Structures are given as structure tokens and as C-alpha cells.
């Protein structure tokens, strides 16, 4: 299911992470996972802060176990950053906002558009403008 208004998205997760023109931040989670619920507001915040430069995806490991298995996700939440189909970052556990953002910045692809640096002087993003996607 596609959330937001960002045109046509690929039909599969694997096609999405391979063909996206933006880095893809993936949140592997499950409904029963307490730490996953703790991380959700951080992922949503990063999605807003990187609006137009980052695609965010939530993968429910109970509903899409083959995706989790493909990337050897053994604990949740697991947060991964992909660029051109390749994993660039992996965090497992309920990390705080600052740690996830620092890892995101440290692993940001050099040939991708960079986030604004700190001051928040850029215009605010419209809701849904980050381009979140939940594989169907």
C-alpha cells in the first residue's frame, strides 16, 4: 500500500530499494513488539526531516517474513538504510533519535541529496511528503 502522493511506486520491496532515486530507510517491526512502538515516532520524525530526500518503509516481519529473512533480520526493531539496492546501515534495537540520526548521516550515500544541517531553516515538509511505502 502506498501512503502519500508520490506517483507510482514499484510493486515489490526489492524493486523499490533497487530503483529508488532516494535512499530508503527501512523499519522492520511487528505489532506485538514494544521496542518497535518506541522507535516509531523517531522514524516518523526522520521521515519528516528528510522529506524529499529519503523514502521510509515499514516492513511487518510477521506479514512479510521472506523480506526479513532475505536481510537476516533476527531481532526487531531493525532499522536499515539502502542505497541502489545495497544495505548501508543496520541498527537492531530501540535506539534513541540522536543515535539513529547520527548513523543515518554517517552512512548517507555521497551521491544522494543530503539533509539540511541542523538549523531547520528549510520550509516544513507537507504530511506524507517523505514518501513512505508499506510493501503490499
- 135 falls within a domain: no
The backbone torsions φ and ψ at residue 98, rounded to the nearest 5 degrees and listed phi first, read: -60, -40
Task: Tell me whether strands 24-29 and 55-60 are parallel, antiparallel or unpaired.
Answer: parallel
**CB count in 10 Å sphere of residue 52:** 15
- 130 falls within a domain: no
**For the segment 70-126, what is each residue's pLDDT rounded down to a tens digit?**
999 999 999 999 999 999 999 999 999 999 999 999 999 988 866 444 433 332 232
- 101 falls within a domain: yes
Handedness of CA 11, 80, 97, 31 (dihedral sign): positive
Domain count, the chain: 1
Distance, in Å, from the CA atom of 101 to the CA atom of 50, rounded to the nearest integer, reads 10
Q: Is it the case that residue 13 has pLDDT exceeding 60?
A: yes
- 31 falls within a domain: yes
Say what the pLDDT of residue 11 is: 73
**CATH number for 78:** 3.40.30.10
Q: Work out the percent of the chain whose per-residue pLDDT is above 90.
A: 71
pTM of the model: 0.78
Say what the pLDDT of residue 112 is: 83
Q: Which residues are catalytic?
A: 33, 36
Of residues 66 and 125, more confidently modeled: 66
Partners of residue 57 on adjacent β-strands: 26, 133
- 35 falls within a domain: yes
Write out the residue range of the structural domain in which residue 73 sits: 13-106
**For the segment 52-64, what is each residue's pLDDT rounded down to a tens digit?**
999 999 999 999 9
**For the segment 30-48, what is each residue's pLDDT rounded down to a tens digit?**
999 999 999 999 999 999 9
Check if the beta carbon of residue 107 is closer than 8 Å to that of residue 88.
Answer: yes
- 51 falls within a domain: yes
- 120 falls within a domain: no
Amino acid at each position: 500500500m502506498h501512503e502519500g502522493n508520490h506517483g507510482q511506486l514499484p510493486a515489490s520491496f526489492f524493486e523499490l530499494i533497487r530503483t529508488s532515486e532516494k535512499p530508503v530507510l527501512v523499519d522492520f517491526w511487528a505489532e506485538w513488539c514494544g521496542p518497535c512502538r518506541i522507535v516509531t515516532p523517531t522514524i516518523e520524525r526522520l521521515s519528516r526531516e528528510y522529506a524529499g530526500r529519503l523514502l521510509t518503509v515499514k516492513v511487518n516481519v510477521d506479514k512479510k517474513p521472506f523480506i526479513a529473512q532475505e536481510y537476516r533480520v533476527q531481532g526487531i526493531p531493525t532499522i536499515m538504510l539502502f542505497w541502489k539496492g545495497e544495505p548501508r546501515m543496520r541498527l537492531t534495537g530501540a535506539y534513541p533519535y540522536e543515535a539513529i540520526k547520527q548513523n543515518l548521516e554517517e552512512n548517507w550515500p555521497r551521491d544522494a541529496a543530503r539533509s539540511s544541517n541542523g538549523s531547520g531553516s528549510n520550509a516544513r515538509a507537507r504530511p506524507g511528503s517523505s514518501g513512505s511505502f508499506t510493501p503490499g
